[in-house]
Amino acid sequence: MLFRKLFERRAPQEPKTPERGPMLISGFDTADIEALTAAFEKKHKLRLPDQYRRFLLKYNGGETPNTEFAVGEVSSDLRALYGLGGADPRCHFDKLGRRLSGFLKEGMLPIGENVWGDTVALKISGEDAGGVYFLYHDRPREYLPLTADFAAFTAQCASRPLGPIRSVEERAEALRSRGKAVTPELTELWEREIAHLRSLRQEPVEF
């Protein structure tokens, strides 16, 4: 019994996962963002709600790793909020292509997504303009209400800072320990992912 107690006392403890706090974002390049935003509004004949417009001018969207929200019927992660100009192509309004016109006809502007491809959208017309909604990509088309405005939505989001980034060697060792092969293609993929993660600069969302 004494040995067991000593072992339990000395056993290494798993590192604690940091708790989630206020929403964090790694914003995109904001060069010429005012002109880009004005051109976007003019092209699509819309006026962005003031709160969201301020956010876009400050951050130009951004990646939101380790971010989640739970509002009403919806519990989801938030992968990114879309941007203009120098935004990452994977998180750019341009990626919406022809689908954007369909959303706009419904009075909605897609502004972000989760890892599954579900959409966070902003109501841009009607009596509840400015409200934030959620649309599943694989269910009947129904916009589920989240919050009355964009600021309230960001307040519902909680983020966890990025922790230590495992090196290629650490990932390879872990994979081999499970009897799996490490291919050159996989190594290249890891290198790109690590470089990308190291480029992110999380900061609290304030606008």
Which of the given ranges, 4-8, 17-21, 96-100, has the highest pLDDT on average? 96-100
Interval 40-82: pLDDT, tens: 999 999 999 999 999 999 999 999 999 999 999 999 999 999 9
Element (H, E) at 153: helix 150-156
Instruction: Tell me how far CA of residue 27 lies from CA of 87, 98, 203, 205, in angstroms.
Output: 8, 25, 8, 9
What tens digit of pLDDT does each residue of 128-160 get? 999 999 999 999 899 999 999 999 999 999 999
- Tell me: the pLDDT tens digits for 160-202? 999 999 999 999 999 999 999 999 999 999 999 999 999 999 9
Q: Partners of 71 in the beta sheet?
A: 74
Identify the pLDDT of residue 4.
44
Asked whether the predicted pLDDT for residue 2 surpasses 80, the reply is no
Model pLDDT for residues 8-24, shown as the tens digit of each residue? 444 434 444 556 789 99
Q: What is the pTM of this model?
A: 0.84
Residues 6 or more apart from 181 whose CB is under 8 A from it?
Answer: 175
Place of tokens 């938030």: 78
Domain boundaries, the chain: 21-159, 168-202
User: What separation in angstroms does the CA of 77 have from each of 9, 66, 167?
Assistant: 37, 7, 25
The pLDDT assigned to 20 comes to: 74
**Contacts for 185 with CB less than 8 Å, ≥ 6 apart:** none
pLDDT for 8: 40
**What's the whole-number mean pLDDT along residues 91-118?**
97
8 Å CB contact between 171 and 155: no
Both tokens of 13, joined, read 């403890």
For CA atoms 57, 54, 132, 62, the dihedral sign is positive
**21-159: what CATH class?**
alpha beta
Contact predicate 14/58, CB 8 Å: no
> What local confidence, expressed as pLDDT, does residue 84 receive?
99
